[in-house]
Structure 1
Amino acid sequence: MDAHLPTVSNEDRSSHVIGSAVILIILPTVTVILRLLSRYMSKAGFWIDDYTVILSLIISWAPNIVNLLAVKQGFGKHVNALPATSVFHWFKYLYAFELLYTMGMASVKYSVLCFMYRIFPIVQFRRILMASLVFVTALTVACVFVSIFQCVPIHKFWDTLGGELAPQLGGRCIDVQKYFLVGGSINTITDFALLAMPIPILWRLRTGKPQKLLLTGIFTVGLIVCAVSVVRLTILAGVDQSDVTWNYVPAATWSAAEPSVAVVSACLPSLRPLFVRLIWGGTHRPKPVAPPRRTVASWRSKSVGGGGTQGSFNRLHELPSDEAQPPWRQNNVSVMGGKRDEEYEANDEVPWNRIRADTEVVLTISDRVDWKDDLF
């Protein structure tokens, strides 16, 4: 910890920490309020995804609040300008920061999965969403477990300055920086997967191409979260542990930004009804393109007495009563359908003057979703 320390120790990045934390608290808060207002204006009601995004908002505040509290312990200053007690306290805040970051990202993923479950009523896709929910839960539990027990006993995390002094002071600690990189990489891959999942469904909506492009653009705004995650990993990989309270400022800022930006991205699709009503006043909104109607084959029927009209059948002329009966009247044919006639069992032969009609009902589930303007 004492090697390569800067000669000038009066530099201070605390204003950067405070400014970024305040912005990252206000921005998602305003976005969630607008989302709830949009849902209220569209009269769509509130569902699980709305409640989980509120939970995500509250948890996203926590890493930023931890950064603000850490400023009092010298976060943003060089480590050689701080007393040893302040450094130990800062590692306690870092320990809490890790847990809150993990839970914040997990809660946002839950909200996104619930949102897609609500708007895409496709059985196969919902099964994929449920499997994704199980995977996110398992990943979160594993990350929380590792974060809690990254040092054994737990207090050795801050007593040994994140494991740096574990060989001298005792205790067993994992390589914290490698854990950050591995866990962050899995989280980034998961973000990209969640972003790509709804795209094929959007392009199967029964609506016009402009609406499909608009919705695709709204959903792909989540690329911002992926970009933040990639930048965070890059910065974490280059953190110099020799002056951790100074060098960790950019990494902590980007780590706190990821759950906050994720909350904003999760809310953007739900803001569409609000913006539509503000722009078009709720009365002249763009109408979806009606799906093409199936063409019905036309036919020309000819009656006994003359030509028929296209697209319809003509009534046959009745024969005089003194003439011979037509074949379909001579045989007294009856048709059995629907429920099986109790007079005949399944293996009985059908009499020559009867017809047995078996009824078969086929239930099909469409993988296409109708356009609903206030769906989100």
Structure 2
Amino acid sequence: MESSSDPQIIAIAGLPPPDTNLTANTAASDRAAIITVLILALIAIALRFTARNIQQTKIHWDDWVIIISMALVGGTAGLAIAGGHYGAGKHIWAVDLDSLQQIYKILFGYTFLYSASCAVIKISILLFYSRIFLSTERLFALSMKFGYFLSISYPIVVWVTMGNVCRPLDHFWTQFAGTKGTCIDINTFFLALGIINMINDFYILLIPIPHIFRLQMSLRKRIGIAGILMLGGFVCAASAVRIHFLTELSKTKDVTRAMGPVFIWSDLEPCIAIVSACLPHLAPLRHIVRDKISSTFGSQDDEVELTNRITGGSAAGHAASTQSSSAENIHRQGIHVHTSYTQQTDQR
């Protein structure tokens, strides 16, 4: 077992444990998992645009931005699969020095695309919030601005740090060959980024909740709408799992083996985010399936409809009008709600 390992790798990681199976390789299963979640994200986006076509509504900025995020996630998936080709998923003692350097070159580029994809997905969600919740409340506006700040600053921090991660920069992947240079604590940096990203996900998930519970509709319907938007909580769960594997990576010398699940969850997390971002837009498809099954095409009698009774208008009714506009926008996304209000204008 010792003689089959690259002496330079042994110098880096030491001898493999006696019970290590050097033929073990998770690259195939890793690749299958990555492709699966990538296809699910693509299907979610396709269904989102299908729903747009059914509703005959225009394509909005949040729709275009989610396409950009899909392109970025596709790039990270390609890099993750390439990493598996060079040995990510194998034990480090089963790869040679050249392959290890290639994996770290891939990892270097991966961080740029991954951080950008996370930011773009969050921006798409925030654009959706801005379009749906037509609120003039100061707290909501500040929450949105802070959400944009967190989303945009995340990749900037990553790019600046990775641009200076080592001196010289190529020491990031040549360090294993004994080149002279210095690097920051890379594993700790990745772990910190994972935690920050999860906190950002959680914050953006909570932004609309207070506004939803102030809408003019029954509590049951408000809880239903909040529940649909809170499906993004699956992203936070995926982030937590990713953090676990980043922690494992930071503790082990068998870095190539540990990179397999890190690559998987680093692709699974944004793919789940894309699916979650598309779910609120898919209700019209459910309505069509229901109508076909019940053979009541065009009938919405059993749906809760959005009804607005407006008589006149005045400044006194501005707050109610804003809340109802938010409710109507939610309805147009396929989330059917009911609100009723009356505006009265003093007759002078």
TM-score, shorter chain, exceeding 0.5:
yes
Per-residue Cα deviation, 1:85-126 (whole angstroms, up to 9, x for no partner): 111111111111111111110010010000000111112334
Q: Determine whether 1:40 maps to 2:53.
A: yes
Q: 1:118 aligns with which of 131, 143, 155?
A: 131
Aligned amino acid, residue 271 of structure 2? S
Question: Is contact 1:102-1:143 (8 Å) kept?
Answer: yes
Question: Is contact 1:120-1:369 (8 Å) kept?
Answer: no
Q: Which residue of 1 aligns with 2:323?
A: 368
Aligned amino acid, residue 85 of structure 1? D
Q: 2:299 aligns with which of 283, 286, 303?
A: 283
Q: 1:130 aligns with which of 131, 145, 150?
A: 145
Q: Which residue of 1 aligns with 2:3?
A: none
| SS of equivalent residue, structure 2 residue 237 | helix
Sequence identity (%): 26
Query: 1:34 Cα shift?
Result: 0.3
Q: Which residue of 1 aligns with 2:211?
A: 201
Q: Which residue of 2 aligns with 1:2?
A: 13
Question: When the two structures are superposed, what TM-score results if normalisation uses the length of structure 1?
Answer: 0.75
Query: 1:64 Cα shift?
Result: 1.4
Q: Which residue of 1 aligns with 2:158?
A: 143
Query: 1:154 Cα shift?
Result: 1.4
Measure the CA separation in 1 of the matches of 2:197 and 2:149: 15
Q: 2:283 aligns with which of 266, 272, 282?
A: 272
Query: 1:25 Cα shift?
Result: 1.4
Q: 2:184 aligns with which of 174, 195, 208?
A: 174
Tell me the matched-pair count.
306
Query: 1:260 Cα shift?
Result: 0.9
Measure the CA separation in 1 of the matches of 2:290 and 2:85: 46
**CA separation of 1:277 and 1:127: change in aligned 2, threshold 3 A:** farther
- Bigger shift: residues 128-137 or 92-101: 128-137
Question: Is contact 1:207-1:289 (8 Å) kept?
Answer: no
Q: 1:94 aligns with which of 107, 110, 119?
A: 107
Question: Is contact 2:111-2:158 (8 Å) kept?
Answer: no
Aligned amino acid, residue 133 of structure 1? Y
Q: Which residue of 2 aligns with 1:330?
A: none
Question: When the two structures are superposed, what TM-score results if normalisation uses the length of structure 2?
Answer: 0.81
Which protein is bigger by CA-based radius of gyration?
Answer: 1
Query: 1:293 Cα shift?
Result: 10
Where do 5+ consecutive residues of structure 2 fail to align? Answer: 1-11, 292-296, 335-348
Query: 1:279 Cα shift?
Result: 1.8
Q: Which residue of 2 aligns with 1:70?
A: 83
Q: Which residue of 2 aligns with 1:218?
A: 228
Measure the CA separation in 1 of the matches of 2:94 and 2:14: 14
Where do 5+ consecutive residues of structure 1 fail to align? Answer: 295-359
Measure the CA separation in 2 of the matches of 1:293 and 1:74: 66
**CA separation of 1:208 and 1:286: change in aligned 2, threshold 3 A:** farther
Question: Is contact 1:273-1:374 (8 Å) kept?
Answer: no
Aligned amino acid, residue 246 of structure 1? R
Measure the CA separation in 1 of the matches of 2:298 and 2:127: 27
Larger relative helix fraction: 2
Q: 1:231 aligns with which of 237, 241, 260?
A: 241
Per-residue Cα deviation, 1:192-251 (whole angstroms, up to 9, x for no partner): 111111112222222333432321111110110000001111221122441111122112
Measure the CA separation in 2 of the matches of 1:363 and 1:215: 24
Question: Is contact 2:25-2:89 (8 Å) kept?
Answer: yes
Q: Which residue of 2 aligns with 1:319?
A: none
Q: Which residue of 2 aligns with 1:261?
A: 272
After the TM superposition, which residues 182-193 of structure 1 pair with which residues of structure 2 at under 5 Å, given as runs?
182-193=192-203
Q: Determine whether 1:251 maps to 2:253.
A: no
Measure the CA separation in 2 of the matches of 1:44 and 1:293: 24
Measure the CA separation in 1 of the matches of 2:199 and 2:94: 39
